[in-house]
Chains A and B, each alone.
Chain A
């Protein structure tokens, strides 16, 4: 059974980079235990929204509340973030990378830490005994290891930016299944993607962004319908 209380609340969120407004007053509530696909063209503000939720970008106006906390530091241990770059050290193996990050989250002790790292690496379909440095991984393997890093602290909120880019179709489908399973376990997941069709049937809601605003939220993937709605709203 999934929770229905609001896990993330965004109120009148504004983010400006100099004169450019990347987010122009985003207001939304997102329930816990659901998988949200955030869609939109390049420059719509999807990544900025995700980075703001992850506490990496400070809002120019408005606010964000995650799990009831308005300060990201208070709930940082509950959030997992996967960016477009891998957020991994190229010179270290996947296991070495994860062991380091595990220590930052207090997942310590040789047995506990190693077991947890090996577990998440297996979860994303990679081999924990692979000694090759991450720099020699294929792009798809790097993406999956990056997802493993985001899952490492068993977060309640998972923020994923383009997790399927450069991943082959089979692996992408596996990743979607994993995300759906995580959602079923109660995690709230936000996925920014240009490959929306992959999440059809798995996502609970499709959130459409344009020009720094949320312009629509649908339970099914109906892009054209949303476009028409937006055009009407702008008339």
Chain B
């Protein structure tokens, strides 16, 4: 037997390989985010001050919607040819699969953020007045908050008939506290304030929901 972390690693590498070959998730996410940036930048012509106020909301809502595409794709390839059944009958632990999927989604969404953030900065002429390094922390904690719940709820809606609709219906309400923290923290930092409170809130949110998801995932995986 290999350790659960070993199974997480091989499953993550397998997912990265599949995504590298198909580019299903990353292409859809990039295209969607690009549309949001371009359409909104043409729709509004904000001043630098206004940009700092609205940028947080705009960026995170765009990433949230784009992430849903990746989250659906992650499990879609597992139900094609019913490959998930091959995992279910193996002695590999359910949580290794969950962690691999979550880490995979985290990487995909992080790549998207890394590519799209410079465009956001350019289109909205953004300049941070506060400690910019905290934005990085917000990005990491916020992205994890989105993908950990997203991966869990995507698995939950896997066998439903209209899973593309089910996922946002389940994910968005539960993501509101995290989204609020991410938007407020980003706006505060851009406007020259610190975001310590929001960072602590996000870290707590991540810890609680990661634990809950890990505790419940096996039940979700084996549900009929």
Question: Which residues of A pack against B, CB within 8 Å?
Answer: 54-58, 72-73, 76-77, 79, 81, 83, 85-92, 96, 100-101, 103-106, 108, 133, 149
Contact = CB atoms under 8 A, between A and B. Distances in A.
Most central of B11, B80, B82, B86 by chain A CB within 10 Å: B86
B1 to A, nearest CB: 4
- What are the 9 tightest A-B residue pairs by CB atom distance, in nearest-first order? A104-B90, A87-B86, A106-B1, A104-B92, A85-B82, A103-B10, A85-B81, A91-B21, A76-B91
A211 to B, nearest CB: 21
B89 A55 contact: yes
B91 A104 contact: yes
B130 to A, nearest CB: 44
B89 A76 contact: yes
Contacts of B2: 103, 106, 108
A104 B87 contact: yes
B91 to A, nearest CB: 5
B91 A106 contact: yes
Nearest to A74: B91
A56 B88 contact: yes
Interface in B1-38: 1-2, 6-7, 10-11, 14, 17-18, 21-22
Contact of A55 (B77, B81, B88): B88
A83 B85 contact: yes
Contact of B85 (A79, A81, A91, A104): A81
B91 A89 contact: no
Interface in B42-96: 77, 80-83, 85-92
Task: Give chain B's interface residue range (CB within 8 Å of chain A).
Answer: 20 to 34
Contacts of A96: 17
Given A103-B7, A103-B10, A108-B6, A87 B91 contact: no
A56 B77 contact: no
A107 B170 CA distance: 38
Given A57-B224, A103-B7, A103-B10, A87 B1 contact: no
Contacts of A85: 81-82
Given A55-B88, A103-B2, A104-B87, A90 B81 contact: yes
A91 B224 CA distance: 26
B89 A54 contact: yes
Given A92-B18, A104-B10, 12 more contacts: A56-B89, A57-B224, A76-B89, A77-B91, A83-B85, A91-B17, A91-B18, A100-B14, A103-B6, A108-B6, A133-B21, A149-B86
Contact of A105 (B6, B14, B91, B224): B91
Interface in B175-208: none
B141 to A, nearest CB: 31
A166 B141 CA distance: 50
Nearest to B19: A91
Contacts of A58: 222, 224
A89 B7 contact: no
21 contacts: A54-B89, A55-B89, A77-B91, A79-B89, A81-B85, A87-B85, A87-B86, A89-B77, A89-B83, A91-B17, A91-B21, A91-B22, A92-B17, A92-B21, A96-B17, A100-B10, A104-B7, A104-B10, A104-B92, A133-B21, A149-B86
